[in-house]
Chains A and B, each alone.
Chain A
Amino acid sequence: MRRFLLRRLAAIPLTLVAVSALVFAATELIPGDVARAILGREASESAVRALRVQLGLDRPAATRYVDWLGGFVTGRWGDSYTLKVPVRDLVLDRLGASLLLALLAFVLLVPVAVTLGLVAGINHDRPADRVISVTGLTFGATPEFVTGVILLVVFSVKLRWLPASAQIPPDASPVEALNHLLLPALSLVILCTGYVARHVRASTVTAVESAYARAAELRGFTRAQVVRRHVLRNATVPATSALGVQLQFLLGGLVAVELLFNYPGIGALLLQSAIDKDLPTLQTTAMVLGILYMLVVLGADVVYRVLDPRVRLGVAAR
């Protein structure tokens, strides 16, 4: 396990260099002049030129890349062009907010999706399975901003149970904070449940029909005992990779939900900095998200190894 972790951790810097090159190249390709964008259409050509020199944009791309990467690695992330605050404060603040929302959604998602998947798998091809599978597919195919709008209209506008904005007031109690986050989190759970439940269902069917489940039943165990002792673990292990994919999505791809619920997350920051050509913010945000992705993938693999002795101990160890 330690060797595995070391090997995987060692691979992260290499991947990051590749990611940084892609991120940098992509930001270079954004059309339009950065200095012009900052100063506005009315600014004089000489002022724009001066700003470009000041920002170092007149230097060759390779130099700027090396400078930027060096700065990123050593923690000098610079200031935002448009907001004039340190990028680090901005990104970490938004990242914290996004993590909070993503983790809440994830914590709600796991039990719901795994339970539904198990129920569907154990009753496969029966009505319960059909209902769960079709519902999951339907919700999965509905964009999160559509379900989000419906949730908003019902729970916030009509019933007035929950606030419409996800922005948490600074002096909010934990319960209030939860109230603010519940609607966006729910719209994400509704979106992701079908996908995870399908994975769990498939591995549950395999486990239920396996020879070891059959053997246990022949030994006189009840169906419930067989499910609890043999099906549960074998069915959920393969689902960890599906959950990892969902967590990645929740951490980075929430632009629509953040905008809809007016939530200050990192997705909205990424979008805004791209529109504003705020290069330091854009590049740093992209890199931080990249690191987060890799850690989530690694985390999912580690969980898989912990849960599955065949992977943990190696098949070759006979």
Chain B
Amino acid sequence: MSGERGLRVDGLTVAYETARGPVEAVSDVSFEVAAGETYGLVGESGCGKTTLGRALGRHLPRGGAITGGRVSVDGTDVLALAPAELRRWRASSLAVVHQEAGSALDPTMRIGAQLAEVLRLQGRTRREARMQVPRLLDRVRLPDPEAIARRYPHQLSGGQQQRVVIAQALAARPRLLVLDEPTTGLDATVQHEILGLIWALRAELGAAVVFISHDLALVGRLCDRVGVLYAGRLIEEGPAGEVLATPRHPYTSALLASAPQLGRTRRTHPLAAIPGRPPAPGEAGTGCAFAPRCTYADDTCRAGLPPLDMVSGRRTVRCHHAANLIDLSHDGPAARAEPTAVDGGGRLLEIQGLTRHYGGTPVVDDVDLTINRGEVLGLVGESGSGKTTLARAVAGLGPQGSGVIRLDGRELAAGVGRRDARIRRAVQMVFQNPDASLNPSHTVRTVLARARRSLRGTLAPGELAARADLDAYLLDSRTDRLSGGQKQRVAIARAFAGDPELVVCDEPVSALDVSVQAGVLRLLADQQRRTRTSYLFISHDLAVVGYLADRIAVMYRGQIVEQGPADDVLAGPHHPYTASLVEASLAPLGKADAYAVGDVTAKDAVGCRFAARCPLRVDGLCENEDPPLITLANDHTVRCHLDATGLPEATALEGET
């Protein structure tokens, strides 16, 4: 085996010790990744992908053990190494980057010291290590490496932290690089940059790269080949482009269908959630683990485990019907387009000159915004742009400031405590984190019954739950027993317990898996269609906003830089910042980033807030003078010094073709 380069996994099986005996979390997984190749591992939460990633470094959590198979990297049999050899192998050949880089850095050590420590482990002297730290930081494209090295982790942004962790990974010359959801939780533009960096480095390193993600589209953009994992087994494998374009396993196809894409809206392409959830380790029966959720399943599927068959030269599928189910193109027939018409019910919510400060810094800066009756207004922006503060101000929460909020022409008090009961019932909120917004010791029935009483609703808890697609048997479960998706459904059911006129949704699906997210988005769309309630829908994910919104407002550093009908905002001509968001979710990786994120901490309130990052900046003008609000078309406004002809347009947008 020696002499062979890259990662080779053979029949790898991992089991966890439980009260009921050992259960397999990863079963008989085999794949190869050549040196220099990037391999994507995809699946929902609970499919075993993180366990598999950890098994590659032989670093399982307590109670976990590799019970079978082989892992070899460049010919080294990793599972056969003695403890001291394993440490040397990890130091010289392995690099792992996890989700949430912030927690992978020691909060009490300076960045430079943490990098130097890794270099010292590689045998460099103290002096050499100190000399090399800035070079490493430079390699991951961090500006001003000397200054960064002196900082502590909490003084860096999430994207910068992730770069530092990648720099640590580069300190050795790893032969195997495992990236476990390295960009989850980062803003779209930052995510794009980090992926671009990984893309550039993988060629430089020549290592076998394993990229673990729940996001198939992302894997498709980055990886050469992809393996889809379900219930601990590989169920489909092949070149990334082919698998994404023509999935051969129903699960792969369902995963693709559940992911929102730019240019597809709830009216043209309703998302299809995958019903149910993946089986927990040890739960799967004898047959195909996906059978209970599969629309094509028959008795054959339930009877026996399908083999992993080669279906063409480079692709394998684990499905009894692989031969028959050739056309699983996830597009499906474009659903009959619903009338896009927003009923002309007039203005429901008007915000004028709204300003909110946190500690002297304007977080929401003179915002004007209108939401019409029966309309979904999508609000996008990166973290720190002020969108949550804006949402909370509408709900009457958070700090007070100047500006006017009117509902139905009546001015609202800034604090929710001073709004009358009718107004409070009319404006409801769905929060990002249902763990925090639902009382964990209450049952679903109690939550909904209470909401009905306080919101003067007419529907019984059972009916409210049914409308939110919650199974009746969940009514008497405590909310802390529910999954993330179920909790969010309860939160939505609660918001609709009365007869709300406006529901403020603050990142309601950001914490959810793609397949679960699809179900919740669909529920939100259904509720909206049924009740004609207006939404203020907030997300950092442009595709999610594009799916749900009738109109889109784009927020940057406290200001609305653009608002208008969803299609116009996405297609352009649009604000350069909007263009950067569209590019981040569509443009291929590896091309030079036009929109450097940089270190945008300037607090000056003069000129265009986006000037420092804008590739179309007019020097001398943009950074000094506030841009005017220009009207492009009916109801589509952009805050920019450029005129309509100078504004960028999206080229790659997959429209309704």
Contacts and interface: CB of A to CB of B under 8 A. Distances in A.
Nearest to B171: A219
Interface residues of B, number: 34
Contact of A220 (B88, B110, B152, B359): B88
Interface string A219-250: 11110000001100110010000000000000
B106 A230 contact: yes
Contacts of B105: 212
Interface stretch (B41-49, B95-103, B577-585): B95-103
B624 interface: no
B131 interface: no
B92 interface: yes
B87 A215 contact: no
A207 B621 CA distance: 51
A212 B104 contact: yes
B156 A218 contact: no
B104 A233 contact: no
Contact of A310 (B100, B121, B154, B168): B154
Contacts, number: 76
Given A222-B87, A309-B152, A309-B154, A234 B108 contact: yes
Contacts of A212: 103-107
Contact of B152 (A210, A222, A313): A313
B91 A310 contact: no
Nearest to B83: A222
A219 B89 CA distance: 9
B57 interface: yes
A215 B154 contact: no
B267 interface: no
A310 B152 contact: yes
A62 interface: no
Interface in A280-317: 307-310, 313, 315-317
B121 A211 contact: no
A229 B20 CA distance: 38
A210 B90 contact: no
Contacts of B118: 219
Interface in A176-202: none
A318 B152 contact: no
Interface in B370-406: none
Contacts of B96: 215, 218
B155 interface: yes
B108 A237 contact: yes
Contact of A219 (B90, B107, B109): B90
Interface string A56-89: 0000000000000000000000000000000000
B94 interface: yes
A221 B121 contact: yes
B441 interface: no
B601 A220 contact: no
Interface centre among B108, B155, B165 (most CB of A within 10 A): B108
A33 interface: no
A160 interface: no
Given A219-B118, A219-B121, A234-B106, A316 B359 contact: yes
B107 A313 contact: no
Contact of A218 (B57, B152, B359): B57
Nearest to A215: B104
Contacts of B92: 220
A307 B108 contact: yes
A318 B361 CA distance: 14
Given A220-B92, A229-B117, 12 more contacts: A211-B98, A212-B107, A214-B59, A218-B90, A219-B118, A220-B94, A229-B106, A230-B106, A234-B107, A234-B108, A309-B152, A318-B156
13 contacts: A211-B100, A215-B98, A217-B90, A218-B96, A219-B90, A220-B87, A220-B88, A220-B89, A220-B91, A220-B92, A221-B87, A308-B108, A310-B154
3 interchain residue pairs of minimum CB distance: A220-B91, A220-B90, A211-B103
